[in-house]
Amino acid sequence: MRTISEVAMTQESRTEEPRTQESRSQESLGFIHRFEPGTGAARPLLLLHGTGGNELDLLPLGRIVAPGAALLSPRGPVSENGMPRFFRRLAEGVFDEADLRRRTGDLAAFVAAARGRYGLGAPLALGFSNGANIAASLLMLWPEVLAGAVLIRPMVPLSEPPMADLAGRPVLILSGAMDPIVPAENARRLAAQLTASGAAVAHRILPVGHGLSQGDLSLAADWVRGLALPNAA
């Protein structure tokens, strides 16, 4: 199975040369992160990697999904056997919810600080697996932080989520029909929870497993192109 970067880089080579990265990864604002300035008026992307990834992992994907968008990509601060994550888990699919809530607040504070430093509007989250899970948690606990989200292979992050006011925020959920990690019922429940909170949810199920596929890239890019996002302050 190819990695996220390999899938994205293959597609990127067919389209355009990647932009020059304006800055190196840096440890500031509470997270090691990479920021790439945008070249147009596209909504900025908050890139949230999966377990074992880092701040570089989703940059090629971000360039494909939203060409010209500013890219803000933090590294997960938790280490699980040397693999970065955004929050702790007790077992596969069993989250440490107290840690998740705390780390979600830390990520919300990072986004607010980064917006001030880099002059960004509210970002659209693009998260994979563990990154998609904390993006879903961010929508539920800090709904004002994101303009919307693309959640690739997410699962329900909180056993008792609050009723957030997502007020029509667009959310795309991409699930895998053969995903051995995320049960189909769990993904449907997450879609229902976000819909009940007012989000405009599109849930697509692809004939794939947990890994990223070319179909995910195509669906995400088409969906982002079709958005008419409000100008969040």
- Beta-sheet pairing, 170-176 with 200-206: parallel
* Residues spanned by the domain of 67: 4-13+28-223
pLDDT score, position 94: 87
Q: Cα–Cα distances in Å, from 28 out to 3, 36, 95, 176, 201?
A: 28, 15, 27, 35, 33
Among the listed ranges 42-51, 124-133, 142-151, 224-233, which one has the minimum average pLDDT value?
224-233
What CATH number has the domain bearing residue 202? 3.40.50.1820
Whether residue 23 is contained in a domain is answered as no
Question: What is the average pLDDT across 29-52?
Answer: 94
Whether residue 232 is contained in a domain is answered as no
197-227 b/e (C-beta count within 10 Å ≥ 16 → b):
bebebebeebebbbbbbeebbebbbebbeeb
Nearest to 77 by CA among 134, 35, 126: 134
Whether residue 19 is contained in a domain is answered as no
* Catalytic residue ranges: 129, 179, 210
pLDDT score, position 23: 53
Predicted confidence band of residue 18 (pLDDT cuts 50, 70, 90): very low
Whether residue 149 is contained in a domain is answered as yes
pLDDT score, position 229: 52
Residue 92: how many other CB atoms lie within 10 Å: 7
Which DSSP category does 197 fall into? T
Whether residue 233 is contained in a domain is answered as no
Q: How far apart are CA 158 and CA 43, in angstroms?
A: 27
Whether residue 156 is contained in a domain is answered as yes
Instruction: Give the whole-number percent of the chain exceeding pLDDT 70.
Output: 87
Q: How many independent structural domains does the chain possess?
A: 1
Instruction: Give the whole-number percent of the chain exceeding pLDDT 90.
Output: 80
Does pLDDT of 176 surpass 70?
Answer: yes
Whether residue 133 is contained in a domain is answered as yes
Amino acid at 144: E
Whether residue 22 is contained in a domain is answered as no
Does pLDDT of 108 surpass 90?
Answer: yes
Element (H, E) at 176: strand 170-176
